[in-house]
Structure formats: structure tokens, C-alpha cells
Amino acid sequence: MEKDLLTIKDLTGEEVMELFQLAKEIKNNIDAHRKDLAGKVLAMIFEKPSLRTRVTFETGIYQLGGIGIYLAPQDIQLGKREAVEDVARNLSRWVDGIMIRTFGQDILEKMAENATVPVINALSDLYHPCQILADLFTIWEKGHDLKNFTLAYVGDGNNIAHSLIWGAARTGMKLRIATPKGYEPNMEIVEAARREGAHIELYTDPREAVKGVDAIYTDVWASMGQEAEREKRLKVFPPYQVNMELFSLAKETAYFMHCLPAHRGEEVTDEVLDHPRSIVLDQAENRLHIQKAIMRRLMG
């Protein structure tokens, strides 16, 4: 693996599978890994609030024998109180790894360029690699060969969609993306992944996209930082709600997936979110295990 994890594009297909194997090993026998990162320190920079990201990274580094230092938005104020370059250079003198949950991908890239320790993307507006690695690990852990798996993503062409695109490129999973016109994923990312062998189909009709798939994935219609667009989006996205009618068009064995938090009654109904084939809590739990594998690989 490279020094940093800024996007799944940074990984090879072999490295993705190695992370899955390591995550499974750590998950099944944490006691054998309690000292893997003994004495190591992870700086956790949060420009956006979080439940899953903070708890899973902080718990993960602790379970591997290290500690995490939580840095709230007001603690650093990246680029305002202090330049990103200076933050990176200072932190590199004190800690063994830096995890950032931020807005611009450029902030992550600038941090990685100037830090001498590993930098992990815990979410940016462009990508969410740790989430998608956890999601694909969840599917793989359930016994599926990702090369023979078709997933439909329905909703906004956001950071989740972009990371799914590179996840598909690296695992061989077939990906269908259904979005309203004007809300498609970044076409440069789509084309770049296709050039590397990704099987990606784009739709505007969610019903067409989900027919016969192995899983349906959705996300909130307005992500953090898009609150000003929320009212407009609430008028555009209702046809993309994952309800029982849409869910029933997938395979009878299909999973429902969501990165959480979910806005019940908007992008997904209670009936689907709480369905026996909803694996959202498995996804959330596996954030912990895949991130332990990532930290072990980068910081061990």
C-alpha cells in the first residue's frame, strides 16, 4: 500500500482483498492484535461532525493498543487559523498517523503532501473510501464473490457514489447508478474507472437500475454542506426513494444498504431500513474492523 489512503483508487485489487482478509482476521480474533499498534497515536481531525467515524476510529486504535486524539473543528480551523501545510508538518513531529474528515479533497492531498506520517481520508466531499471498503467487506464477508455481484446505487451522485465507482473498479463488482438529471456522479471519475475495467451503468430511472440486482444502496439526498439546497432536493428526489415497491424489483435475496445516518421517510422508508435483509448495521460495525485493518497496514 502507498503511504496514504485518500481514495480507493490508491489501492490495487490485491490490496483491497488483503485488507478484507486482515479485517476478518482482526474481527474474529481481536485478542491476537491488542498490541499491533502499541504506543501509536492517531490524530483525528474533524471538520464535519460524526458518530460512526469518530467512534470506530477511536475504538479501533484503542483496541489495537494505540490512542486517538480527537481534534474538533474549532481546535485547528484548517486553512484559517493555520495553514494545512503547517498543521501537517507539526502533527508529523508528534503522531504516527492522521485521519481527516473534511470538505475538500484538496485539503487531504495537501495534508498528505506535507505530512511524513500516513494520512487517511475519513470523508471528503469527493470520496468516502473507508465507508465503501467497509461496505464491500460486508458483502464479501457474507460469502459473495464481488465479481459476480451487481449493486444498484440510487440517489445523489455524491462521495459515496464516487467511492463505489472505484470500489467496483478494484473488485470487479458490477455497479448501476440511478440519479436525477443534473445530479449524476462526476463523469471524469466514471470514465477513469471504466478505463481501468470498471463495469458501470448510469440510469435516470431507478426502477430500471434495480431490476434483478443483488443489493440496493442509497444515501441522504442532501449531504453535509448542501443544506441550502435541501428544499430544492426534496422536490427532485422523491421518485428515488427506496420503498418496498422499489426494493421488490431487486432479487428476492437482495440486501438493502445505507452508509447512515438515514433520513427515515425521505431516501428510505422505515419498512426497508428495518427490513430483515437490511444490512446497514453490519456495514456500520464493519467500519470498525476495516479501519483497524487500514491503520494496521499504514501505521504498523
pLDDT in tens, 92-140: 999 999 999 999 999 999 999 999 999 999 999 999 999 999 999 999 9
| Domain presence at residue 2 | no
| Domain presence at residue 231 | yes
Whether residue 12 is found in the same domain as residue 29: yes
Whether residue 228 is found in the same domain as residue 149: yes
Neighbouring CB atoms inside 10 A of 31's CB total 6
pLDDT for residue 225 is more than 70: no
Cβ atoms of 79 and 102 closer than 8 Å: no
pLDDT, residue 78, reads: 77
| Domain presence at residue 134 | no
Q: What CATH number does the domain containing 195 carry?
A: 3.40.50.1370
Whether residue 85 is found in the same domain as residue 185: no
Whether residue 14 is found in the same domain as residue 122: yes
| Domain presence at residue 138 | no
Residue 40: strand, helix, or coil:
coil
Whether residue 294 is found in the same domain as residue 193: no
Domain that holds residue 74: 8-128+286-299
Structurally, the chain folds into a number of domains equal to 2
User: CA dist 300 to 78, 117, 123, 283, 290, Å?
Assistant: 27, 11, 22, 24, 14
| Domain presence at residue 32 | yes
List Cβ neighbours of 268 (8 Å cut-off, separation of 6 or more): 218, 241, 242, 243, 256, 258, 262
Whether residue 113 is found in the same domain as residue 190: no
The string of DSSP codes covering 49-73 is --SHHHHHHHHHHHHTT-EEEEE-H
| Domain presence at residue 40 | yes
Residue 78 is which amino acid?
A: L
| Domain presence at residue 137 | no
Active-site residues, by number, are 101, 128, 131, 219, 259, 287
Whether residue 185 is found in the same domain as residue 226: yes
Residue 114 is which amino acid?
A: N
Report the Cα–Cα distance between both ends of the chain, in Å, rounded.
Answer: 12
Give the confidence band of 13 by pLDDT, cuts at 50, 70, 90: very high
Q: What is the mean pLDDT of residues 157-169?
A: 98
Whether residue 272 is found in the same domain as residue 293: no
Whether residue 12 is found in the same domain as residue 73: yes
Task: Using the Cα atoms of residue 297, residue 109, residue 130 and residue 197 in order, give the sign of their dihedral.
Answer: negative
pTM over the 0.85 mark: yes
Whether residue 177 is found in the same domain as residue 58: no
Residue 8 is which amino acid?
A: I
| Domain presence at residue 136 | no
Whether residue 116 is found in the same domain as residue 33: yes
Whether residue 149 is found in the same domain as residue 124: no
Measured CA to CA, the distance from residue 222 to residue 51 in angstroms comes to 18
